[in-house]
Amino acid sequence: MEKKNIDWSSLSFAYMPTDYRFVAHYKDGAWDEGKLVKDACCTMSESAGVLQYAQTCFEGLKAYTTKDGDIVTFRPDLNAKRLQDSADRLLMPQVPTEMFLRALDEVVKANAAWVPPYGTGATLYIRPFLFGCGPVIGVAPAPEYEFRMFVTPVGPYFKGGIKPLRLLLSQYDRAAPHGTGHIKAGLNYAMSLYPGYVAKHQGYAENMYLDAATRTHVEETGGANFLFVTKDNKIVTPKSDTILPSITRRSLVYVAEHYLNMEVEERPNMEVEERPVNYTELKDFQECGLCGTAAVISPVGEVDTPDGRISFASGMEEMGPVCAKLREVLTGIQMGEIEAPEGWIRKIC
Ligand SMILES: *Cc1c(COP(=O)(O)O)cnc(C)c1O
């Protein structure tokens, strides 16, 4: 298979249509088989549930070329499960795991020429999504749905080195108690555009959101979960029902508990605490990282709050050693350089 003529390492994180996408329809209580199509446009009723009442949810994962030249994906069963949880909360039909994984295999294989080669730092971003395409006018779930999965090559997230980020403690809330913060719904992103604009306009990379009920506990940013490292080398990650359960964060926690000190036998692996994190504790942490599929883990150097600036001990110059090690091991697992835990890697071709 001949690769597309692309300068892989200069790609950014932007949409580029590729040759094939997978499309399936749900009607009269059942999914059709679904198939690959070449058309990058969706056609639907002007009164579609997604257009009128934002009935849509999505996933994001990547395909990698390993050092042996295989094309693989990382824990896609967890994306299938999370899309089902999102569908339930939005009264949409679940996409069966079997269909999700079949779509994934087919769409990545059909677009193999677009999968960036090993060593370029680029990857193939995969976007599965589900939306109400049947007409509604009264507020109600749509009568018909479309499940779609497209792929687009994306460049290395950190070009020209990894620099720590500066965050703004947001005066806006991301997710209400008992709301939709725990699912990957498009509506959560629509409402975060304005706070995101405010933060970027003031020179910040992202917002740090607090829990909406008490505004005392750290939740996450608009699209990534937090991991903190304490001064005595423990990992702390916020626990809350209104955080989106990041697959990257869950995987990094596993790496910390099982891989981090493998090479030094007398040292135990890292301890991880998942618990509420009061924002007044931030000043006591050594390192702070943001976890998500796009960047794996990005270092945070500072957070500006109404009570002043909080600087993590790892500083604004480089990533702290624990975040760097976590990143090295997880990307090593994804690229086939380090043996993966059972079931984490799905080989496509
Ligand atoms: C997608 C997402 C994440 C990251 O999840 P991953 O599974 O690691 O990609 C974190 N927070 C929010 C709000 C998200 O939508």
Give the model's pLDDT for residue 1.
82
Give the model's pLDDT for residue 261.
72
Could you give the C-alpha distances from 126 to 22, 64, 207, in angstroms and in order? 11, 11, 25
Tell me whether residue 25 is exposed, middle or buried, using C-beta atoms within 10 angstroms of its C-beta: 0 to 12, 13 to 18, 19 or more.
middle
Q: Report if pTM > 0.75.
A: yes
Give the model's pLDDT for residue 131.
98
The percent of residues in the chain predicted with pLDDT above 90, rounded, is 93
Which two structure tokens, joined as six digits, stand for 323?
């975040």
CA of residue 267 to ligand 1 center, whole Å: 31
Average pLDDT score, the chain: 95
Query: What atom of ligand 1 comes closest to residue 79's alpha carbon?
Result: 7
Ligand 1 atom 2 nearest Cα: 223
CA of residue 292 to ligand 1 center, whole Å: 5
Q: Is the pLDDT reported for residue 310 higher than 60?
A: yes
- What does the pLDDT average to over 25-50? 98
Ligand 1: residues whose CB is within 6 Å?
A: 60, 184, 220, 223-225, 244, 246-249, 291-293
Q: Is the pLDDT reported for residue 86 higher than 80?
A: yes
Give the model's pLDDT for residue 161.
74
- Region of poorest pLDDT, from 92-101, 156-165, 176-185: 156-165
Q: What is the separation, in whole angstroms, between the first and last Cα of the chain?
A: 11
214: region left, alpha or beta (phi > 0 left; psi from -120 to 50 alpha)? alpha
Q: Is the pLDDT reported for residue 262 higher than 60?
A: no
How many whole angstroms separate alpha carbon 85 and alpha carbon 183?
Answer: 7
CA of residue 138 to ligand 1 center, whole Å: 31
Give the model's pLDDT for residue 263.
54
Give the model's pLDDT for residue 145.
98
Q: Is the pLDDT reported for residue 213 higher than 70?
A: yes
- What does the pLDDT average to over 56-68? 97
205 close to 143: Cβ distance less than 8 angstroms: no
State the DSSP H helix or E strand holding residue 325, giving kind and residue range, or none if neither.
Answer: helix 321-334
How many whole angstroms separate alpha carbon 194 and alpha carbon 200?
Answer: 10
Q: Is the dihedral of CA 88, 77, 189, 34 positive or negative?
A: negative
Ligand 1 atom 15 nearest Cα: 223
Rg over alpha carbons for the chain, rounded to the nearest Å, is 21
- CA triplet 328, 334, 335: central angle to 5 degrees? 85
- What does the pLDDT average to over 298-314? 96
Give the model's pLDDT for residue 267.
61
Q: Is the pLDDT reported for residue 264 higher than 60?
A: no
11 close to 155: Cβ distance less than 8 angstroms: yes
Query: What atom of ligand 1 comes closest to residue 78's alpha carbon?
Result: 7
Query: Residue 260's pLDDT band (boundaries 50, 70, 90)?
Result: confident
Q: Is the pLDDT reported for residue 283 higher than 70?
A: yes
DSSP per-residue codes, 48-80 = BHHHHH--EEE--EEEEE-TTS-EEEE-HHHHH
Q: Is the pLDDT reported for residue 202 higher than 70?
A: yes
Which of 182, 244, 253, 290 has most ligand 1 atoms within 8 Å of CB, for mutation?
244
How many whole angstroms separate alpha carbon 31 and alpha carbon 9?
Answer: 39
Give the model's pLDDT for residue 256.
95
Q: What is the pLDDT of residues 230-253, one digit of tens each?
A: 998 899 999 999 999 999 999 999
Q: Is the pLDDT reported for residue 295 higher than 70?
A: yes
Which of 61, 75, 246 has most ligand 1 atoms within 8 Å of CB, for mutation?
246
How many whole angstroms separate alpha carbon 278 and alpha carbon 210?
Answer: 9
- What does the pLDDT average to over 324-340? 95
Q: Is the pLDDT reported for residue 82 higher than 90?
A: yes
Q: Using the 8-state DSSP alphabet, how is residue 179 labeled? A: S
Q: Is 3 marked active-site? A: no
Nearest to 8 by CA among 92, 111, 124: 124
- What does the pLDDT average to over 302-323? 95
CA of residue 5 to ligand 1 center, whole Å: 31
3-state secondary structure of 105: helix
Count other C-beta atoms under 10 Å from residue 190's C-beta: 11
Which residue in 35, 109, 184, 234 is the catalytic one?
184
- What does the pLDDT average to over 190-201? 97
53 close to 141: Cβ distance less than 8 angstroms: no
Give the model's pLDDT for residue 159.
72
- What does the pLDDT average to over 337-341? 96
How many whole angstroms separate alpha carbon 305 and alpha carbon 279?
Answer: 9
